Amino acid sequence: MHRSRIRVVEDALDANATIARANRADFERAGVRVVNLMSAPGAGKTTLLERSLARLGAGNGGPRIGVLEGDVQGTLDADRLASLHVPVVQINTDPGFGGECHLDANMVRSALPALPLERLDLLVIENVGNLVCPAEFRVGEDHRVMVASVTEGEDKPLKYPLMFRACELVLVNKIDLLPHLDFDLERFLYNLDAVHPGVQRLLVSARTGEGLAPWCDWLHTAAR
Amino acid sequence: MHRSRIRVVEDALDANATIARANRADFERAGVRVVNLMSAPGAGKTTLLERSLARLGAGNGGPRIGVLEGDVQGTLDADRLASLHVPVVQINTDPGFGGECHLDANMVRSALPALPLERLDLLVIENVGNLVCPAEFRVGEDHRVMVASVTEGEDKPLKYPLMFRACELVLVNKIDLLPHLDFDLERFLYNLDAVHPGVQRLLVSARTGEGLAPWCDWLHTAAR
């Protein structure tokens, strides 16, 4: 008789990894690349997406990009992006006890039937604003990108190292505010290299458009 | 025979509430009042505390204030506050799987033996930077206060309503940056009233000191 060993599922993260692999298989079958975009609340993810998708001509002849919006409650961000005529689906996490503080693979999976995956080149998943738990839950993405605002202080890589380590690209946003802050950019980048040596970083201002060109190039490449 | 009904402990929040009540009893026995201070990462909790405690003369003849610092990792904030010569204890939440995103009553309880509660008028608990889960876990506090930075955008009360509802005072911080932002203060306050009508709010700038007087008065009153 054939004997096989089955490893016991250890915890919620194991279950999450299983579902993330299923999502990933679906994404690959549909030929869509997926970016998991993370940040603290108010770091500027949505504004950055609005400006970048408009610049890339998504929904208007450019790469075919869809967005999955994760929020505890409401559809504010989805409404903002829908005006660009790209497919947008909202996930609200508030059926959890006071609202889940992150997206997990199962929440993303529940949204997939609402997305025209076969007709997308790239899906951007805008995670719930939080520097802790989103980094712990893979959702089946190809890339993890985070937005760090210069208004948040230089110490954030040291205080939330898992998030800064989990990403392959850090967008340092709101650089138009640098003249008005006591923010030491060199120290921030030093701290960033301390927790994730050499990680790619781009300085941007979603508000003024400064630095958006290389970030849009990155998105364009990710979309193939 | 006497029959008593024992309610089954339903979940982690029930267990948390039990421990929070034990903390509260200890605080009352010691005669110390407790403030749970919450915000998103980088909203300015630590800077605000630094400036306020110095202004109040805590550690220097003023009200006797201690601080319990909650962070995923590191002692950066505790180190900053220790220079004021007030009792500071650091809790790191990273023994959790990737780091817990909030303080709970049991973590606070584990720190109590390290604090000279009998010799304090007020204990400020600086929670982990996060707008979701800290609002769900009472730790035995008398007051819940949050810091919202104007750099985070007007929509945050609508996106994180539980946090804005959980607090009795909202400190709207970094108002020195208002001339440099597209932040509509009226709209923010309108959104705040939509989720927590009439909640007390104070406009402050930890950086310039603007508005610190009424906040320090509030702290002084809380300390009795």
Tokens of A150: 């210069």
pLDDT given for residue A115 in this prediction: 95
pLDDT given for residue A118 in this prediction: 96
Any chain A CB within 8 A of the CB of B178?
no
Min Cα distance A1 → chain B (Å) is 39
pLDDT given for residue B8 in this prediction: 46
Any chain B CB within 8 A of the CB of A209?
no
Weakly modelled stretches of chain B, pLDDT under 70: 1-11, 96-98
Diameter over CA atoms, chain B: 72
State chain B's mean pLDDT as an integer: 93
pLDDT given for residue B2 in this prediction: 53
pLDDT given for residue B10 in this prediction: 56
pLDDT given for residue B1 in this prediction: 45
State chain A's mean pLDDT as an integer: 93
Average the pLDDT over A63-79 and give the result: 94
Cα separation, B140 vs B122, whole angstroms: 13
pLDDT given for residue A4 in this prediction: 57
pLDDT in tens, A163-196: 999 999 999 999 999 999 999 999 999 999 999 9
Query: Three-state SS for A114?
Result: helix
Q: pLDDT category, A10, cuts 50, 70, 90?
A: low
Share of chain A above pLDDT 70, in %: 93
User: Which of B203, B186, B205, B195 is closest to B167 using CA atoms?
Assistant: B195
pLDDT given for residue A13 in this prediction: 81
- Give all strands of the β-sheet with B169-173 in edge-to-edge order: B88-92, B65-71, B122-126, B33-39, B143-149, B169-173, B200-203
Query: For residue A143, what are the β-bridge partners?
Result: A35
The torsion angles phi and psi of A204, rounded to 5 degrees, stand at -140, 160
Tokens of B207: 């950086």
Q: Provide the whole-model pTM.
A: 0.92
CB-based contacts of B201: which residues, under 8 Å, 6+ apart?
Answer: B169, B170, B171, B172, B189, B192
Which of B11, B100, B207 comes nearest A182 by C-beta? B207
Over 70: is that where the pLDDT of A6 sits?
Answer: no
pLDDT in tens, B91-143: 999 875 567 899 999 999 999 999 999 999 999 999 999 999 999 999 999 99
Over 60: is that where the pLDDT of A32 sits?
Answer: yes
- A-contacting residues in B 76-115 (Cβ below 8 Å): 76-77, 97-101
The torsion angles phi and psi of B185, rounded to 5 degrees, stand at -60, -40
pLDDT given for residue A224 in this prediction: 79
